[in-house]
Amino acid sequence: MSLRRFACTLLLSGLAVPALAADCPTLLQGELPRLRAKDSIDLCQFAGKPLVVVNTASFCGFTPQFKGLEALYQRYKGQGLEVLGVPSDDFRQEADDSEKTATVCYVNYGVTFTMSEPQVVTGAEAIALFKGLAEQSKAPRWNFSKYVVDRQGKVLASFSSLTKPDDPQLIEAVERAIASQP
């Protein structure tokens, strides 16, 4: 390869990488292992889409909210909504075995939205996604904290565990996220 061609290739590849990164908001840069699967979740797949992120736990009093989260996902997925569940044992209510976590999500509650393997979602060891959510709103104070993210990767609203997935304020935030421009 000639020096000129090599330099041109380097220049073009250097320009292409930031362009791709620019299409993916900082909040969504990174990967998470998918629950009970061999592949990973590229968070950039959610770029340009309305998103609800929720930290979950299999053995929490709020675990039945999986049913409402699935209903929310089914209601709005045709309009582009994505839901990302991130199990966590930060509050000591997640199974030690991800097979049990998967059973709770997929078998007990029929979850079809994207779920990751258990992650740290609070404190200094929190994954980048939850650090970003906390910077834009607040860190989860308990399981089933919900974050509504618009198409640009900005948190529009966050809700505590006490807010059910069919709460009118949560629905309104989801509809605003759906209406947001990419």
Look at the block and give the residue holding tokens 């209406």. Answer: 179
* Active site annotation includes 8: no
Q: Helices (DSSP H) in 60-118: which residue ranges?
A: 65-76, 98-102
Among residues 8, 24, 44, 60, the one annotated as catalytic is 60
Reduce the DSSP state of residue 53 to 3 states and report it: strand
Two structure tokens written together for 3: 């020096």
| Cβ neighbourhood burial of 57 (10 Å; 0-12, 13-18, 19+) | buried
Quote the CA–CA distance of 40 and 30 in Å, as a whole number: 10
Q: Which residues are catalytic?
A: 60
